[in-house]
Amino acid sequence: MEIRKVVLTVFIFLLFDSAFFALIRVGELRLVLELNKGQYLEIMRTVDQTRNETKTMFERSYSYSELLEWEHERLNYASQSNIMRHTDPLQIVNYGKGRCQEFSILYVALCLANGYESRFVIDLLGDHTWAEIKLQGIWTHVDPTEKRVNDPYMYERDWHKNIELVYAFEDGFCEDVTNNYRISTGTYSLIF
C-alpha cells in the first residue's frame, strides 16, 4: 500500500511539473510572437505598397515556378552575415543579394505583382522564412531560397528543426500555421 502512495505521489508531481513547464513555454512563445508581429506586418505593408512598381518589372505574367527562376537570376544568396538587409522588394532587387528573408520578401512581392495570393511565413524560433502561395484555393509552401515547392515537412525531416512557432503574415493579419509544417500533425494537400 505504501509503495502505491509513493508512486502516485511521484506521478502527480511529475504531471504537475510537466504541465507547469508547458504553460511557461506557451507564455514564452506568445511573447516571442507579440514582440515580432508588428515587424512582419510592416514588411507585408511595404510589399503591398510596392506591388504596382514590382509589376512594371515584367512584360507578361509569370507562373509561380518562373518567378522562382526569375528571382534566382537576379538575387544571390549571401552566406556572410554582414550584408545590408532590406525589407523593400525593390531595394532587394537593386542590391542583388540576400538571405532567406530577402528571398521570401521578394518572392511574395513577385507573386502578388503577378496576380497570386501570397504571404510571408516565418519560423519565429527557427530563424528561417519562406512563402506560401494560394494554388487552387489551397495555401502551398514555397521556399524561394531553396527553390522548393510544396515540401512543408522539409524543415523537420531534412533540417531536423523543432517546429514550434510558425506564422504566416498577409494583409494586416497573421495566422498560426505551425501544424502545417509538422510531420505528425500536418494537414497539407499535395499540389504540383
The DSSP code for 141 is E
Residue numbers annotated as active site: 100, 128, 143
Q: At what angle do helices 100-113 and 64-74 cross, to 10 degrees?
A: 130
Q: Give strand pairing partners of 106.
A: none
Instruction: Quote the CA–CA distance of 192 and 140 in Å, as a whole number.
Output: 9
Instruction: Quote the CA–CA distance of 98 and 109 in Å, as a whole number.
Output: 15
Residues contacting residue 159 through CB under 8 Å, at least 6 positions apart: none
C-alpha cell at 10: 511521484
Residues contacting residue 174 through CB under 8 Å, at least 6 positions apart: 33, 37, 40, 41, 167, 168
